[in-house]
Amino acid sequence: MATVRFHELGLDHRLLKAVADLGWEKPTLIQEKAIPLGIEGKDLLARARTGSGKTAAYTIPIIQNLLQAKMTVSEQSVQVLILVPTKELGHQVQQMVRQLTTYCARDVRVADISGQADISAQRPILMEKPDIVVGTPSRILIHMNQKTLCLRESLQVLVIDEADLIFSFGFEEDLKSLLCQLPNIYQSYLMSATFNEDVQALKELVLHNPVTLKLEESQLPDSSQLTQYHIQCEEEDKFLLLYSLLKLSLIRGKTIIFVNDVERSYRLKLFLEQFSIPSCVLNSELPVQSRCHIIGQFNRGFYDYIIASDEQALSDASVKGRRPASKKKGGRAEKPAQRVWGISGHRLFKNVSTVVNFDFPLSVDSYIHRAGRTARANNPGVVLTFVANTELSLLKEIEEALGGGSSEECVLRPYRFRMEEVEGFRYRCRDAMRSVTKHAIKEARLKEIKEELLNSEKLKTYFDDNPRDFNLLRHDRPLHPAIVKPHLKNVPEYLIPPSLRSVANPLLHKRKKRRVHPGPSKGPPKKMRKTQNPLRTFKYSKGKKRTATKKSAES
């Protein structure tokens, strides 16, 4: 735990006021260690878990030093360059800087050029020479080559945020070209969640006598912020349990469902579609920008459920001869799984409330990686892991790694869910699974690839030159991933367990009131009665006849 306060770090009063507005009482462990070193001008290589405050750990000392420099230097220039792997992270960094410079925005200006805006539209922003520029290596390099951004004389600080993802996102060559156009002396920060081979390579390229902060802290938040459960269930019960949890709204908020391969992702997506539960698949076979687009939609609320995988299958593909593109370092090929890991489960998800391990993680690192998607910053989170009988030994390994080896201190607490109460849903799940065939899964994957080809910017020029190929692809036979059965959409009230009716979504068991259409008093009712069931109107007609006979007798 941090023992110092922000006001003890020697920060400018305007910075302290902004920190107070953010509600930060104490610096996190990474902030407590990194801020004084950054203010001193040291090169830093820092590793800390996601959600631990790494962004503020380098932006606070950068802003502090800029404010100090402004007291003696009046010339405006770009002094800080922050490199990020994606535009989403670039926007987050810009937002953080703006929050911290609320009371000194005139003295410290920031510009984010990591987005997909046209290059010409970004030139006026750079002409104003903001103090801090945030962008991806490729976008920064374009501006440097076009002379709209020159850093050789003015750069004081270089930051590479999420350093373990920079090479994974294909920025290696761009970064090397960019570094050649920087001055010989500047302060550097490498911020990462892991120390992999890519980070070691960047360390040699960028840092000079760095201070390494490898913080000995828990890899996951404590139980007050992150609640971890496990439940024993076999294959069919996994689908039954997930259906029950989602359809009865027992899990609410943004949820990531992890499986162990891509095909499994589509099987689960098609299964949920049978019940009109919308979800999206984070397919690591698609280009990086497509995956970032999917995550962006998930973050904006287009989907509440996203299905992702660790893609261990791709690492196995190399054994079969289909080796993914990888570089060699020191005579050793990079592990394919390592590269995919940084993409399919990267740190771009926002406000994830629940992580469901539908398939048990293949390693302790995989579990930590998945669980780290939720309970970030000060937000609470829940992890629910499905465990088969054959995976109990792996569960024990995870317990021991997280410091809960004894039965009295179980980190992954048992999830008390009575499966017998949702037994009535089993036939519906089996009915849905019959529609999710291997052919349906294949069609679903082909459909997504087809849409990717049609919307690809890289293929746009080719299709302009070859319109016949575009029309053939566009008007190819329609793909039918799976037949959706309409009767599975709604949940009958009688199937909802009595103990869950109070917590299930009340909309599920609200009966629609039948609308009554009163008929006119004269004329039409007689015609309508003729078309009615005679067995239902027989007594009525007979009674009316008797009444008529009685009236004629009286007259």
Question: How many angstroms separate the CA atoms of 221 and 188, rounded?
Answer: 28
Per-residue CA distances from 493 to 201, 215, 249, 326 (Å) = 60, 52, 14, 54
Q: Specify which of 148-157, 371-380, 513-522 reaches the highest per-range mean pLDDT.
A: 148-157
- pLDDT per residue as tens digits for the range 425-448: 999 999 999 999 999 999 888 888
pLDDT band at 415 (very low <50, low <70, confident <90, very high): very high
DSSP 361-409: -SSHHHHHHHHTTSS-TT--EEEEEEE-GGGHHHHHHHHHHTT--SGGG
Mean pLDDT of 248-257: 92
Quote the pLDDT of residue 315: 39
Quote the pLDDT of residue 462: 81
Q: Which residue has the higher pLDDT, 223 or 97?
A: 97
Quote the pLDDT of residue 530: 52
User: Is 378's pLDDT higher than 70?
Assistant: yes
Question: How many angstroms separate the CA atoms of 368 and 489, rounded?
Answer: 35
Span of 275-279, 317-321, 371-375, 386-390 with lowest mean pLDDT: 317-321
pLDDT band at 356 (very low <50, low <70, confident <90, very high): very high
Mean pLDDT of 56-68: 96
- pLDDT per residue as tens digits for the range 296-347: 889 889 999 999 987 543 334 333 333 333 443 343 333 333 333 334 344 5
Supply the mean pLDDT for the chain.
82
For the chain, percent of residues with pLDDT exceeding 90: 47
Mean pLDDT of 277-290: 85
Span of 56-60, 84-88, 387-391 with lowest mean pLDDT: 84-88
The three-class DSSP label of residue 482 is coil
Question: How many angstroms separate the CA atoms of 265 and 32, rounded?
Answer: 41
Quote the pLDDT of residue 326: 40
- pLDDT per residue as tens digits for the range 188-225: 999 987 787 888 889 999 998 999 998 766 778 888 88
Quote the pLDDT of residue 141: 95
Question: Is the separation of the CB atoms in 357 and 384 below 8 Å?
Answer: yes
What letter represents residue 60's amino acid? I
Question: How many angstroms separate the CA atoms of 167 and 334, rounded?
Answer: 11
- pLDDT per residue as tens digits for the range 393-414: 999 999 988 876 554 567 899 9
Quote the pLDDT of residue 319: 33
Long-range pairs of 400-403 with CB within 8 A, sequence gap ≥ 24: 401/364, 401/368, 402/219, 402/220, 403/218
Quote the pLDDT of residue 436: 93
Q: Which of 121, 114, 65 is nearest to 92 (CA)?
A: 114
User: Is 129's pLDDT higher than 60?
Assistant: yes
**Phi then psi dihedrals of residue 248, to 5 deg:** -90, 10
pLDDT band at 37 (very low <50, low <70, confident <90, very high): very high
Quote the pLDDT of residue 485: 77
Q: Could you tell me the pTM of the whole model?
A: 0.69
Quote the pLDDT of residue 479: 62
Quote the pLDDT of residue 500: 77
Q: Which residue has the higher pLDDT, 207 or 548?
A: 207
Mean pLDDT of 369-388: 89
User: Is 504's pLDDT higher than 80?
Assistant: no
Mean pLDDT of 8-13: 94
